[in-house]
């Protein structure tokens, strides 16, 4: 993946329960495991299991949908100090694959890049992502 800096946008779920920082880079959306768990309101182990299944079934290739981004966080033992570490992020293709089992996804892109709507009739939430 290109190492140019991307944009960070704030996404709020339609019910207002969750607010998630969404990374836009290399013409796609990127979320880490914690963010996908928050977005789909599931625990991390459930999301991780879905991701594992996507790779095992050959639906997506890891090298195409996973990128490591440096993330800065507060140092746990030293007050006022930060630390940087690499975190795996998953692109929109993976978000759709995982989310397709949980929610109705509405993906809004410029008209020359329209994406079909994926729907799971058992769920009643919408996710709109504008690129």
Task: Choose among 45, 35, 29: nearest CA to 13.
Answer: 35
Considering Cα of 8, then 54, then 68, then 74, what sign does the dihedral take? positive
* Residue 51 backbone dihedrals phi, psi, to 5 degrees: -60, -45
User: Which portions of the chain are predicted below pLDDT 70?
Assistant: 1-5, 101-131
pLDDT of residue 124: 38
45 alpha carbon, distance to own chain's centre? 15
pLDDT in tens, 25-58: 888 999 999 999 998 888 999 999 999 999 999 9
pLDDT of residue 101: 58
Partners of residue 8 on adjacent β-strands: 23
CB 103 within 8 A of CB 125: yes
pLDDT of residue 32: 96
């Amino acid at each position: 993946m290109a190492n140019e800096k991307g944009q960070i946008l704030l996404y709020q779920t339609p019910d207002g329960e969750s607010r998630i920082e969404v990374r836009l880079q290399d013409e796609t959306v990127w979320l880490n495991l914690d963010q996908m768990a928050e977005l789909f309101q599931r625990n991390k182990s459930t999301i991780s299991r879905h991701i594992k299944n996507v790779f095992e079934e050959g639906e997506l290739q890891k090298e195409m949908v996973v990128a490591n981004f440096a993330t800065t966080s507060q140092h746990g033992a030293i007050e006022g100090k930060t630390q940087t570490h690499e975190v795996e992020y998953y692109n929109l293709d993976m978000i759709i694959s995982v989310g397709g089992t949980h929610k109705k996804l509405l993906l809004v892109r410029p008209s020359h890049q329209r994406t079909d709507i994926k729907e799971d009739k058992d769920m009643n939430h919408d996710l709109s992502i504008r690129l």
